[in-house]
Structure formats: C-alpha cells, structure tokens
C-alpha cells in the first residue's frame, strides 16, 4: 500500500468517525481564534475556552485588546501559562492587525507569519478555519498520529506539513486536521494508544510493528 493510498484510507476512516468535527477552540470572530490559538500553546484547549469565555467579554473588540493594560491582560490570561509572553503577543497582535491589515485577518501564509506570536501552525489554522483554504495544521496530535500511521518519518512540524500536503486532498485538509486532533484524544493517545479498538489498525505501521515485537517476544519465551 502506498502512502497516498494509506492517507486516503485514513481520511475515509476519520470522516466516518467525525463527520461534523469543528475546531475545539471557541470563537465568534476571526481574531478571537487567533488569540485563542496563541493562548493554547502549552495549554489545553479546554482551559483556553474557560479563559476566553470571560476574556472576550471583557475585551469585546480588537481595539480593546490593542489598548489593554498589559499588566491587567497578563492576569486575565495567567491560567493559560506563560502569561507574560502571551499577553505581550496578544496586545502586539491586535495592534498589528489594526495598523497593518485594517483589523482583518490576512489571507496569505506570508502575511500571517509577520504577526507577533504567529507560527506556521496558527497561520495554517487561520487559513483553514477563517478563509476555508487548504491547510495542514501540524500540532502534536497530528505529528504523532501521521507518524504512527506511516505517512511521514519526520518529527519537525514544517517537514511533516510538507510531507502531508502531498498526501491529503487539499479540499479536506483543514477538516482532516481537526479530525486527527479528536482521534488523538479519543483513541491514538500519546502514552497508551487503544490499538485494539482502533479503526485504523489494519493499515497502521505502528500497530503492525507492535504486533511484530509481541510475536518476537513470544517466540523468545
């Protein structure tokens, strides 16, 4: 089975599992997703959603974030960790969007990467979820699971993105990334993947290799 065939099988399998999946970060305005994504670094989406429920009411506009008192904003986002850096990035981000992009989210990767605190992962998230463009979001779930499936041998996000762009149909790539995240939370967990009940086990390289190890150990006993 080629990597392309395996990737299409994974797409079909996850579409059956999560046909209506959406981004797990709560937002009602495009810039809110950018802020939530910045807060999610080294923090769970669930915790971010708790924080942003209050945060987005306190700062109801992009201008409100741009004009926020930095020390006060730090306390508002403190539960998400790394609050000094994140608060500074959010304030800078708001000012950059207002000053350089008329308060709108840019539509190109190159422009998005000029914004404070925005890397390729968040930039691709914005392209996919705000503008509906093809995008591969290489978070920890995505890197782990595509590696286990045998779709890439790389661990570096940019290299994984480059590998998977060749394999995942562009029109479903953003949706597939959200499906992968949920699959990683439900089944293909970091420490104890539920391989026995995994619908991808028939074409998963990790499952195949684990079975080989177990059979080898049995022969040695």
Listing DSSP states for 43-55 in one string gives S-HHHHHHHHHHH
User: What CATH number corresponds to the domain at position 209?
Assistant: 1.10.1670.10
Are both 144 and 83 inside the same structural domain?
Answer: no
Residue 23 lies in a domain: no
Contact 30, 130 (CB under 8 A): yes
Contacts of 159 (CB under 8 A, 6+ apart): 152
pLDDT digits (tens, 9 = 90+) for 143-160: 999 999 999 999 999 999
Q: CA 164 to CA 153: how far, in whole Å?
A: 11
- Name the token pair of 176: 């597939």
Residue 43 lies in a domain: yes
Would you say residue 220 has pLDDT above 70? Answer: no
CA triplet 19, 20, 25: central angle to 5 degrees? 130
Residue 156's region, left for phi above 0, alpha for psi from -120 to 50, else beta, is: beta
CA triplet 69, 77, 117: central angle to 5 degrees? 85
The larger pLDDT score, comparing residue 173 to residue 1, is at 173
What is the model's pLDDT at position 216? 45
- Of 94, 129, 164, which closes a domain? 129
Residue 103 lies in a domain: yes
What is the model's pLDDT at position 221? 52
Across the range 164-191, mean pLDDT stands at 97
What is the model's pLDDT at position 153? 96
Are both 172 and 142 inside the same structural domain?
Answer: yes
- Name the token pair of 171: 């029109």
Q: Mean pLDDT over all residues of the chain?
A: 95
Residue 152 lies in a domain: yes
Catalytic positions, please? 121, 139
Q: CA 65 to CA 163: how far, in whole Å?
A: 37
Number of domains in the chain: 2
pLDDT digits (tens, 9 = 90+) for 30-65: 999 999 999 999 999 999 999 999 999 999 999 999
Q: What is the pTM of this model?
A: 0.91
User: What CATH number corresponds to the domain at position 110?
Assistant: 1.10.340.30
Are both 43 and 10 inside the same structural domain?
Answer: no
Residue 188 confidence class, pLDDT cut points 50, 70, 90 = very high
28 backbone dihedrals φ, ψ, rounded to 5°: -120, -15
Contact 18, 179 (CB under 8 A): yes
Residue 215 confidence class, pLDDT cut points 50, 70, 90 = low
DSSP structural state of residue 108:
S
Across the range 174-194, mean pLDDT stands at 96
- Residue identified by tokens 């998963």 is 204
By residue range, what is the domain housing residue 91? 30-129
Residue 210 confidence class, pLDDT cut points 50, 70, 90 = confident
Are both 109 and 173 inside the same structural domain?
Answer: no
Residue 219 confidence class, pLDDT cut points 50, 70, 90 = very low
- Of 102, 129, 156, which closes a domain? 129
- Of 129, 157, 187, which closes a domain? 129
Contacts of 200 (CB under 8 A, 6+ apart): 9, 10, 13, 149, 188, 207
């Amino acid at each position: 089975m080629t990597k392309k065939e395996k990737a299409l099988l994974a797409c079909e399998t996850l579409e059956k599992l999560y046909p209506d999946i959406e981004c797990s970060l709560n937002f009602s305005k495009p810039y809110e997703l950018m802020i939530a994504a910045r807060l999610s670094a080294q923090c769970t989406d669930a915790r971010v959603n708790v924080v942003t429920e209050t945060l987005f009411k306190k700062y109801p506009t992009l201008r409100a974030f741009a004009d926020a008192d930095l020390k006060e904003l730090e306390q508002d986002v403190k539960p998400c960790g790394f609050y000094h850096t994140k608060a500074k990035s959010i304030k800078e981000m708001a000012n950059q969007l207002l000053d350089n992009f008329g308060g709108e989210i840019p539509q190109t990767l190159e422009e998005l990467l000029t914004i404070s605190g925005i890397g390729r992962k968040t930039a691709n998230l914005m392209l996919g979820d705000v503008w509906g463009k093809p995008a591969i979001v290489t978070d920890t779930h995505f890197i782990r699971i595509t590696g286990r499936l045998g779709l890439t041998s790389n661990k570096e996000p940019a290299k994984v993105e480059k590998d998977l762009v060749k394999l995942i149909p562009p029109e479903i790539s953003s949706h597939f990334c959200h499906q992968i995240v949920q699959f990683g939370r439900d089944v293909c967990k970091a420490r104890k993947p539920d391989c026995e009940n995994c619908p991808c086990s028939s074409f998963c390289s990790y499952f195949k290799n684990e079975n080989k190890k177990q059979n080898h150990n049995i022969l040695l006993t």
